[in-house]
Amino acid sequence: MDLFTAQVVRKEASLDELMAGSIASIKQLFDHGHPVLVAFSSGKDSSALMMLTFMAGIQAKQEGRNPRIAVCHSNTGVENPLIAELARCEMRKIEAYAARQGLDVQVHVAQPELLDSWGPRICGGRALPSYPGLNADCSVAWKCEPSRKLRLAIFEELGDEKEVVVCTGTRRSESARRGARMLKRGDSSVTPVRNKDGELVLSPIADWDTDAVFELLGLCGAGIIESYTDAQEVLTAYRDAGPTSCAVVNDSIMEGDKKGKNCGARFGCALCTVVQNDSSMDNLLSSDPDYAFMRGLGRLRNYLMAIQHDMGRRLWVGRTIRKSHIAIRPDVFSPEEMRRIYRYAVTLDVEEAEAAQAQGIEPRFRLIPPDAAVCVDLLWSRDGHFDGFAAIADYLDIWHGGRRFPVPEAVEVLSADRPQPHFLEVGEDWAEACGDHWAGIREPFVAAMLEDCLPVKAYGKKDAVSSWGDLVSEDGFFIDPESLAMFFYFEAEDIVERYRSRQTDTRGIAYRWYLQYGLVKLSARQVLNHDKALRRTAYKRLRGISGPFVDVTQLLEASAAWDQVSEPVQEAFLSDSRLSQLRESKEDERVKQLQSSLF
């Protein structure tokens, strides 16, 4: 049964007709009692959508209804500072206008989990930047997944009577590819459709062209149409940066997609490496000296692009055991490179803080906030890259000690064929490989000294891990804000000096300290994963391949080449596509042999 009355919007319509059709599409949601969730980026399309939603809401209220509107914005933490500030200002305007109109409007901001944020992800060694031609899984961790979780929370809060409908600013005319994808998905400007996650989604401006969007913004700017904003800052941003926008969230909502796709955006993250050239940043820096504060971000982004093919800056020790082996091949950045990038980022933060203080304004960006610094330090210690609170030492040296690490002009390394992997036999699992019962997450000193008064809990069912009972937070990975403040005020400086000489020990000193102090909490699943990681680090230390100074040449000599291991080992480390190619090749060879034997 159709819930909504179909309405036809002509493709070549005047702005008045387009507006009337879009407002009617949104208003019918309110007429049927559906709350509306607006996916808002502060770009031109979502701004136009927000204006139309307000118009529909005001009409519904005048007719005696109580329209409920939620606004969902996604902040990756490394947005272009101009756009991040624009979004904050526009959301404040939304709240103020809603209050003046007496409308029930809630504004929500989705942010990535701390472990997934830029600092821990890139500097902590969890992943590489998303480079051109690769899956842009950063879009999942930083935008799509946080937005999806926030939408679910909003659905639960607002969808008590009627289902929440998500409205996006996706338009067919943005590109031929976008139009084809919208057609395939069945996107509609009139009737909500269900995405793969089962969410109802409406695209009210699907049939608008770019000129119509800018015309609406211009009329609001001229005061001819009243709305929550005059759109001047939005128009200025597009004038200075170029007509580009980030469409990751809109597509991910429509497709219910949890897989990473190249977002194609040039007007989003300041450190975006998905595109070869960041034209919006280049345009901003050349258009107005007021944007000069972002030059450091541009240099760091270009540095990351320049080193993408430099295998000498990679970690070569694999992290996953398959068929009793680990792969010896380029993976994430090497410990030395992680620390370089971390130092560059913290230096940019300090320089921005100093510049902002001189101007009497708030800092316009922060790449490594205090909780991210602790998270990076925790990961370095857990994974055997550095220890002895090395990341905190750098953090304090740069923020308070006057040290600076300016981003260099890196020479681009050209793309080359990736070397075939070698393999190192380690055993069935890391517990067997390291051969040390106490190498995992359970601290032997704590177990010996506090056995009778500290509760011990078993985590997991199969191969359960025993440790003290207060490691886990119901909210998952968590850094307690009060403990964080106390750490930096009272502990950090002293503990850095105490352990400065042990930054290459790789014994998990800092990691264990953070957990015992109560500064860091884990999820129950992370207890198991971190236990394995600590045992892996113990094995690496035993083999002399932990820390920042691993000799890759010696590592390759000590491992078996591709043709020296069995086929099951080879196949275990191939991607699904490569494995299919290998099996097809073998099948073709078998068929050829059978055919030749007939003659």
Domain ranges of the chain: 15-265, 307-564, 567-596
Which pLDDT score, from 0 to 100, does residue 140 have? 87
Query: Comparing C-alpha atoms, which of 40, 290, 218, 59 is closest to residue 143?
Result: 40
Which pLDDT score, from 0 to 100, does residue 48 have? 98
In contact, 296 and 348? CB cutoff 8 Å: yes
Query: Comparing C-alpha atoms, which of 338, 589, 149 is closest to residue 581?
Result: 589
| Residue located via tokens 């517990």 | 431
> How far is the C-alpha of 474 from the C-alpha of 298, rounded, in Å?
39
Query: Comparing C-alpha atoms, which of 145, 188, 184 is closest to residue 166?
Result: 188
Which pLDDT score, from 0 to 100, does residue 596 have? 62
| Residue located via tokens 């609001």 | 220
| Residue located via tokens 């067997």 | 432
Which pLDDT score, from 0 to 100, does residue 575 have? 66
pLDDT in tens, 517-558: 889 999 988 998 999 999 999 999 999 999 999 999 999 999
Which pLDDT score, from 0 to 100, does residue 29 have? 97
CATH superfamily placement of domain 15-265: HUPs (3.40.50.620)
> How far is the C-alpha of 202 from the C-alpha of 189, rounded, in Å?
6
Kindly report whether the global pTM for this prediction surpasses the value 0.75.
yes
> How far is the C-alpha of 162 from the C-alpha of 177, rounded, in Å?
34
Q: What are phi and psi of 424, to 5 degrees?
A: -120, 125
Cα Rg of the chain, angstroms = 27
Cβ neighbours, 10 Å, residue 415: 9
Which pLDDT score, from 0 to 100, does residue 461 have? 74
Which of helix, strand or coil describes residue 231? coil
Which of helix, strand or coil describes residue 86? helix
Which pLDDT score, from 0 to 100, does residue 363 have? 97
Query: Comparing C-alpha atoms, which of 252, 251, 209, 216 is closest to residue 234?
Result: 216
Query: Comparing C-alpha atoms, which of 550, 544, 486, 496 is closest to residue 387?
Result: 496
Pairing assessment for the beta strands 422-425 and 325-328 based on DSSP bridges: antiparallel
Pick out the chain residues at pLDDT < 50: 1, 6, 8-10, 243-251, 259-266, 577
Which pLDDT score, from 0 to 100, does residue 264 have? 37
pLDDT in tens, 67-104: 999 999 999 999 999 999 999 999 999 999 999 999 99
- Tell me the HSE value of 384 on the side-chain side, using a 13 A CA sphere: 26
CA distance to 141, 197, 200, 460, 520, per residue, from 524 (Å):
21, 27, 34, 8, 13
Which pLDDT score, from 0 to 100, does residue 135 have? 72
The encoded tokens of residue 289 equal 């000296």
